[in-house]
Amino acid sequence: MRSRPICLLFIVALWLCQPNCVHAQEENTLIVKSSRYINFKIKSLNKLNVRLERQQKRLLKRLTRREQRFAAKLKQNDSAAYDRYRHQRLSYDSIQKLSLPDSAMLAKTAARRNTSIDSLKAIRSFIQNKSSALNTNRQLPTTDPKLSQLQSQLNYRNYINELITQRTNNLQGIAGGSSIPAFTGIQKQVYYAKQKMNVFKEMEEEPSKAEDKAMEYLQGTEGFDKYMDEATAGPNSMQNLGPNATAADLQKMGLQTKQQVQAALQQRFGSNLSGLSQKMGDQIKSFQDKTQNINTAKQSLQSLRQLKHINRPSFKINPMRGLPFWKRIEKQYNFQTTRATIDGAPAILQLSAMAGYRQSPKLSYGIGVVEATGLGQSWTDLRLSFQGVGLRSYTAWQWQYGIGAYAGYERLYKQAAFSNTINPDQTVTTSPHSSNTYSESILVGLTKNYRINDKWNGAIQLLYDIWWQQKGMPSPIVLRFSTISK
């Protein structure tokens, strides 16, 4: 009888302690998940900063050399333009010296906002408020020096990019209508380098699986989305602007004001903007008069197509050049089989792995290795045997609809090259392209690609072996099946 009251008291005690345990567990999990997410993002942003810094160093080194060639050509062709060039203070060489900042230079760009850093700071503040609401003493530090340091570094990378753009626009204004190949080279270097930087940023924005899980947990926490919206908006958001807001308030938010636009125009076209404004006004008025006379959909479509090409570069764009080197490497795996021959050679299965370099969206070339396994003479006489290993090289050009041309050179080192023994059942015909130790091939033909999934394409290759008779092959046709990474 006495045991029942004791059990009831024990159950009541457990029930009273349960909320505290739940809150403690929730708080601990929340801090662990948020700390993991912040660490992932800090590591990713740090990698992004290193890549951007390395890319800018390479770019500025190349631009400095090209600017010297540009100045030499400009001196020969246009002395007046060369005189304007000499009186400009900013150059790629001076920007290159600024690419390694000290603490004072980093402090100048520290006030600029950065979306990624602001979101991490907002998560940290959210955890602080959540921990306070749970009445616990275990909290994250109020500030993280790594976040502030990363914000200054990433903002400075953007500042260097702005200086590069400004210098390129200045040179374009000096060159005018002169066709100087050195300036075209400068445009190409700047364009493709910025494309690579954009790829680096996209790679940073792609979260890992662990990062996804941590963020998924945080988004499921009550009040997280609302707090993030308020915290990332900051004190300078549009919703916090009063009726007496000034241009300085808009500049703090990162918005472009009339004063900034005028300063940018002065950097590009000089201090005298009255003639430019008049000319732009005349062009706008002329454009408005012309658009009033457009009455058909065909004419409107033609005008839109012309406007679409206004901001395109003057050179032909190769999208592959805007990718980092490892993004231009394609992996390829293929297999093929050959029938047994009357001279005793078995049916052979060849498995190959190759790595190619995408020169352009249509052209790629590469090298690889191949392994040959003997399968026997027939289905009733299956015998696996080592037949050799070899090397391959290829060039592929895609036309359209997945159809393309293929050409390659291959050399297979036979079993005798490794064991110094010859199969007595096999008659070997010695020729310049087939001997006891090796055989070589030149293959040309067509390839048809098809989609497998988002990461891989398949291909069927129908090839012709030029030296098939000298190797005693029953047919010159080679059929291969490939899997190619995108």
Which residue has 């590009």 as its token pair? 268
What is the helix, strand, coil percentage profile of the chain, to 5? 55, 20, 25
* Under 8 Å between Cβ of 410 and 389: no
Instruction: Identify the residue with better confidence: 361 or 130.
Output: 361
Record the pTM: 0.69
Predicted pLDDT of residue 42: 86
Query: Is pLDDT at 297 greater than 90 in this prediction?
Result: no
Predicted pLDDT of residue 16: 46
Structural domains of the chain, ranges and CATH numbers in brackets: 10-235 (no CATH), 324-485 (2.40.160.20)
* Under 8 Å between Cβ of 253 and 240: no
Predicted pLDDT of residue 8: 52
Query: Is pLDDT at 328 greater than 50 in this prediction?
Result: yes
Q: Which residues, 6+ apart, have CB-to-CB distance to 144 below 8 Å?
A: 38, 124
Tell me the average pLDDT across 241-248: 57
Predicted pLDDT of residue 407: 97
- Token pair for 188: 């190409």
* Under 8 Å between Cβ of 378 and 340: yes
Q: Which residues, 6+ apart, have CB-to-CB distance to 462 below 8 Å?
A: 445, 446, 447, 477, 478, 479
- Token pair for 225: 């989305």
* Under 8 Å between Cβ of 64 and 97: no
Question: How many whole angstroms separate alpha carbon 257 and alpha carbon 244?
Answer: 16
Tens-digit pLDDT profile for residues 23-81: 455 556 666 767 777 888 888 889 999 999 999 999 999 999 999 999 998 888 888 88
Question: How many whole angstroms separate alpha carbon 167 and alpha carbon 89?
Answer: 10
* Under 8 Å between Cβ of 55 and 197: yes
pLDDT band at 267 (very low <50, low <70, confident <90, very high): low
Helices (H), 78-180: 79-86, 92-98, 103-109, 115-133, 145-175
The dihedral built from the CA positions of residue 294, 297, 300 and 306, taken in this order, carries a sign that is negative
* Under 8 Å between Cβ of 404 and 396: yes
